[in-house]
Structure 1
Amino acid sequence: MTNIDTLRTEQNTGSVGRGRWPVIGIVAGVTAVIATLVTDLHPADSPKTYTADIVDQVSSGKAQASIIAGYITVALLLVLAAAWRRHVEPRALTSTAARVVPLGLTAAAGALSLGYGWKGAMAIYNGGNEDGAFDKTGLYVLFVLNDFGSFIGYLGVSVAAGAVAWMALRERLISRWIGVVSVIVVLPVIVTVAAFGLPGFPGVVSGLWLVITFAGLTFGRSTINR
């Protein structure tokens, strides 16, 4: 067999050595933190009860920065899902959890397209190019949508984290410490939803989970990326 044939066989079977594809997940985590937490539209001195006047305190610049970073995150999540399917699934042929991960990432990308899109709308209509197109009541509707809009969409990432935890702790395809981190991330999501009906906690922890998990896959010794 020629070297070219060997390389093609390795590529088709997923038996190539350690890859750098998980770096995509690290970058996605960084942009997720920027898009969701750093550029959060809630004013620093938010009142206990919101009224339509709150829109006067919303920064259109932050909203625009958020949609830019957010849409980059969406694109990266889709690329990461594709890379996972190419590099991981051939090495985990009997693992259902391995197939759940890209599904969760793809679901998150779809939902976040809407979440960050609403931030873009706030940038346009509240001090942007189409300022004045909506009155305060209309802008307040957008503000309410943005309250959890870019947080809820990360539920798919939480599902992916749960699948990674299973792969690490049950199937031993990923380093166990990554599984522990994933459990620590998923449990508060379950608790806050069950106890309070709070839908946005996935957006608080998902960016950090992406950074830690995929840094671990990039530089660690997990079976799926040796």
Structure 2
Amino acid sequence: MTYTDPSPVDGRTGWGEGPVRRAYWPLVGAAAGLLGGIATLALDLHLSDLNNDTDTMTIDQVGEVNVTIARLSFLAGYITVALLLITAAAWRRHVEPRVPGSTAARVVSGGLTASAAALTLGYGWKGAMAIYGDGGPEDTAFDQQGQYIYFMLNDFGSFIGWLGVLIAAGAVSWMALRERTISRWIGWVGAALVALPVAGFIIMSVPGLPGITMPVWMLVTFLGLTFGKSTITR
């Protein structure tokens, strides 16, 4: 079955016609989720990466931080930032003109952009740890206390920055469940992945929980937008 495309052509007046083609721009968002999950979770600099038999990180152990992992996380993270910005720009181009009355649609692009800005710092501190940590090219630039400060910044740095994506996920769920411009199953998945960090905020005041669920949300949601039947990508 073919449909008439209701969106303007290249921003001009007049309307495009012809068979529906699958929208592939959301794959950039899926890639951001996949790479962001690797940079944030798989390459995280947390206590289990250290030769530590206790639950407490001490300043004497800062030299055990793996600067190679920090470097890889930094590089993967900065690519993730670029992909988030591209996804936000593509969303503004392809989605917002199709739902001009939706405030939620504009929250999505704003949330992705906000996360890109915050994660620039979060992943940047990974790069700093790779430079100034023990074994890095400038590991004598800071003493042990200075290196420990960079480790502390990395504890939640690349997790907190996903808050903007959490807000975007809530907006997508609103579009799916209230406005019905996105497949409802995407809305329910988003609602569940948003609810978990929000519960953590309220119960335990843990700020980095979006970094655990939001890469998964991006991967699932933007694959769903590519291969599903949402109105905004039809």
Q: Counterpart of 1:170 in structure 2: which amino acid? A: R
- How far did residue 132 of structure 1 move? 1.5
Helix, strand or coil for the counterpart of 2:107?
Answer: helix
Is structure 2 residue 41 aligned with structure 1 residue 34?
no
Point out the more displaced range, 71-80 or 53-62.
53-62
Q: Residues of 2 paired with 1:30 and 1:153: CA distance?
A: 16
Contact kept? 2:47, 2:57, Cα under 8 Å: no
| Alignment match, 2:102 | 95
| Alignment match, 1:138 | 146
Q: Counterpart of 2:102 in structure 1: which amino acid? A: S
Tell me which of 14, 23, 29 is aligned to 2:27: 23
Scaled by the length of structure 2, what TM-score is found?
0.90
- How far did residue 86 of structure 1 move? 0.2
Q: Show structure 1 runs of 5+ residues with no match.
A: 1-5
Q: Residues of 2 paired with 1:96 and 1:120: CA distance?
A: 36
Q: Residues of 2 paired with 1:77 and 1:58: CA distance?
A: 28
Is structure 2 residue 92 aligned with structure 1 residue 85?
yes
- How far did residue 43 of structure 1 move? 3.7
Q: Residues of 2 paired with 1:103 and 1:10: CA distance?
A: 24
| Alignment match, 1:125 | 132
Q: Residues of 2 paired with 1:63 and 1:135: CA distance?
A: 18
Q: Residues of 2 paired with 1:54 and 1:164: CA distance?
A: 43
Q: Which has the higher helix share?
A: 1
Scaled by the length of structure 1, what TM-score is found?
0.93
Count of aligned positions: 220
Helix, strand or coil for the counterpart of 2:179?
Answer: coil
Q: Which digits, 9 at most, give the CA deviation of each residue in 1:43-87, with x for residues without a partner? A: 425531221122122100000000100000000000000000000
Helix, strand or coil for the counterpart of 2:9?
Answer: helix
Q: Counterpart of 1:32 in structure 2: which amino acid? A: G
Contact kept? 1:15, 1:91, Cα under 8 Å: no
Point out the more displaced range, 47-56 or 69-78.
47-56
Contact kept? 1:32, 1:207, Cα under 8 Å: yes
Q: Residues of 2 paired with 1:107 and 1:133: CA distance?
A: 32
- How far did residue 128 of structure 1 move? 1.1
| Alignment match, 1:110 | 117
Which stretches of structure 1, 4 residues or longer, exceed 3 Å deviation after superposition?
13-18
